[in-house]
Amino acid sequence: MNKLVSKLPYEWLEEIINIATEWVVVVDCKGIIIYINAAYCEYLGTTVSEAIGKDVRDVIENTRMHLIVQTSQPEIASIHRIKGNEMIANRYPLYINGELVGAVGTVMFRNSEDWMAYSEKVQPFLEELKYYKKKFEKELKSKYSFDDLIGENNAFKEAKKLAQRVAGSQSSVLLMGPSGTGKELFAHAIHGASQRAAFPFVRVNSAAIPEQLLESELFGYEEGAFTGAKKGGKKGKFELAHRGTIFLDEVGDMPLPMQSKLLRVLQEKEIERVGGQRAIPIDVRVIAATHRNLEEMVHKGEFRQDLYYRLNVMKIDIPSLKKRKEDLPAIAHMLLKKLAKTFSREQLAISSEVINRLLLHSWPGNVRELENVLERAVNVLDGTKIYLHHLPLYLQEEPLVTQAAQQEERPIVPLKQTLALAERSALEQALKKAENNKVEAAKLLGIGKTSLYDKCKLYGL
């Protein structure tokens, strides 16, 4: 290759330089021009023969080439004003065999029009990059706060109270509870109320990532670590979560070999990428969650005891929806508000017969199942209120129970909740009879107009 280059005629090299960079100047260590191409000279109002051998300051207005030789520091994309035009110039020190022999200067854009034309071409790519950057940053922020965790059930209130108390701590948190109870919402809320809230919140579902990929996902990898490895390597979830929080969901499904590596990371507070040779320090708070009985798994040898104790510094048990049915109406109305916003629908409501039906269901899928049921209902809804025929068939066709059995099946609902349900039902009936005329509805109910408006706002009517 070197032999081929050495055979290139000088005229070819000069033309290649002209095509590649348009305007070029080279100076020696004293700032004397030893090369300048004709295109540059033409703009400067001189010729190559006149410019070569002169001090660069005598040929190029506002030049800094002589300073590059003195400082040996390059200047990239520097604004250079010549003959009233602001140009974009690059200046580099020139080294041959390790010795500074001069400097090279090039002009990227000869005027603002050239720069604007280039900018217009680049702008769409910059906008796209900005969009993905914002999306990436948004994904690494907590989405829920403690205000989103609603419920009056005593066990749930205790879990929420404990979560609020530990939010300001740096200790690991273990969230326990059946699938769909809202463990991830708790994790979001804890991070959002912590001193780490301004830093990333990174989620990892240990059960969803194949075992052979889990290590590289958690700890990242170096370039060439394996076939198909990304050039330059890749940061893992722990590196992305630096100074923030990592949420390890379904940690009970993590393979034993990975449990050992996770334990080391938690103990040493450093990770080592796959294929890497150096330890990378990290500062990460861990919130883990599982629906499995980790104590039982420890006894069976399916989960490392030392990792269990490392994660189980603060354990929070989140009750299932079946055990807190008195909260179901409030949760349903909250979810419906969320769905109304998602589907760009008017204010949505649930009929009292639907609430009663929902209270009879055992909810094996917990709050997640309830949200799916309501989302399905909204999709088939013509008006703004959900009735029995909008529910999935398995709820519509659920066997009716006798009144005695129904009383056994239904939980004891606090009086405040019972009165609220009755009041909402009365408001709905009055508004229906008054054809949504709130003044008339207030008269039917025997209350003031202001009081009716306040209650309608309270119940989302």
Q: Domain containing 211 — which CATH number?
A: 3.40.50.300
- What integer is the mean pLDDT of 312-329? 93
Which pair of tokens denotes residue 40? 């540059």
Give the pLDDT score at 1: 44
Kindly state whether residues 47 and 62 are assigned to the same domain: yes
Q: Does 298 share its domain with 394?
A: no
Domain end, chosen from 319, 344, 368, is at 319
Nearest to 281 by CA among 295, 266, 269: 269
Whether residue 54 lies inside any domain: the answer is: yes
Q: What is the mean pLDDT of the chain?
A: 84
In this structure, is the dihedral angle defined by the CA atoms of residues 335, 427, 424 and 148, taken in order, positive or negative? positive
- Give yes or no: residues 33 and 105 share one domain: yes
Tens of pLDDT, residue by residue over 235-294, are 889 999 999 999 999 999 999 989 999 999 999 999 999 888 888 999 999 999 999 999
Express each pLDDT in 108-126 by its tens digit: 765 556 655 655 665 666 6
Last residue of a domain, one of 319, 353, 383: 319
The answer to whether position 428 is within a domain reads yes
Q: What's the CA dihedral at 448, 449, 454, 460 to 10 degrees?
A: 120
Any domain includes 133:
no
Residues 289 and 349 in one domain: no
- Portion of the chain with pLDDT greater than 90, in percent: 46
The whole-angstrom separation of Cα 414 and Cα 75 is 73
Q: Which domain holds residue 25?
A: 7-112
Task: Give 399's DSSP letter.
Answer: P
Do 200 and 288 lie in one domain? The reply is yes
Alpha-carbon distance of 258 to 260, in angstroms, equals 5
Q: Answer whether 292's CB lies under 8 Å from 280's CB.
A: no
Q: What is the pLDDT of residues 4-56, one digit of tens each?
A: 555 677 777 777 776 665 789 999 999 999 999 888 888 889 999 999 999 99
Kindly state whether residue 78 falls inside one of the protein's structural domains.
yes
Q: Do the domain assignments include residue 127?
A: no
Residue 381 shares a structural domain with residue 252: no
For residues 163-192, average pLDDT: 94
118, part of any domain: no
Residues 154 and 300 in one domain: yes
| Predicted TM-score (pTM) of this structure | 0.60
- Alpha carbon distance 116, 290 (integer Å): 55
**Contact residues for 298 (Cβ-Cβ < 8 A; gap 6+):** 304, 305, 308
Classify residue 244: in a domain, yes or no.
Answer: yes
In CATH, what number is assigned to the domain containing residue 445?
A: 1.10.8.60
200 plus 229 within the same structural domain? yes
Q: Are residues 208 and 273 in the same domain?
A: yes
Tell me, yes or no, whether 283 and 389 share the same domain. no
- For the stretch 341-368, pLDDT in tens is 888 887 888 998 899 899 989 899 999 9
Q: Within this chain, do residues 262 and 367 fall inside the same structural domain, yes or no?
A: no
Q: What is the model's pLDDT at position 129?
A: 63
Residue at a domain's end among 58, 87, 112: 112
Same domain membership, residue 98 and residue 160: no
User: Do the domain assignments include residue 128?
Assistant: no
CATH of the domain at 82: 3.30.450.20
The count of structural domains within the chain is 3
